[in-house]
Structures are given as C-alpha cells and as structure tokens.
Amino acid sequence: MNADQPTTITAYPNGPLIVRGPVELLDESGEPIVQPRRAVAICRCGASAIKPWCDGSHKLSGFASE
C-alpha cells in the first residue's frame, strides 16, 4: 500500500463502511488485523459472521442506516 495515498471511509446506505487507502486496523488486544485487500468493507450492522468484515448479512438482516 502507498502511504501517500489518502485514506477514505465511505458509509454505504444500509451497508458497510468501505475503507480505501492505508489504515492500520487493530483488534481489542491492540494486535493488527491483516487486511485482505486494499479496500475493505467493515460491518456496521452487527450481523456479519466474519467481523470486523462485512459478509453481506446486512441485506438479510434488513439493516437500515438511517
């Protein structure tokens, strides 16, 4: 990842937060979470089986962001 690249976080309607660019994600112990891709989807509905990542469960759970 290019450290000069700006990091953006986009909240998708009724869906996850999409993080693009360099960012360090840490678990509750402060250990780094390996990012699988350059852009990742972070669950904000609470229904994902692979938290912190979004697995698409927001669609089935009827999550509404508003």
Provide the binding-site residues for ligand FES, judged by CB under 6 A. Answer: 15-16, 43-45, 47-48, 54-58
| Between 5 and 12, CB nearer to ligand FES | 12
**If you search the block for the tokens 């089935």, which residue do you land on?**
60
Based on CB atoms, which residue is closest to ligand FES, 5 or 65? 65
**Residue 31's CB: how many other CB atoms inside 10 A?**
9
CB proximity list for 8: less than 8 A, separation 6 or greater: 19, 20, 21
**Dihedral pair phi/psi, residue 6, rounded to 5°:** -65, 145
Closest approach, Cβ 16 to ligand FES, in A, equals 4
- Of 5 and 9, CB closest to ligand FES: 9
**Looking at residue 21, what DSSP letter applies?**
S
In the complex, least distance from residue 4 CB atom to ligand FES, rounded to whole angstroms: 29
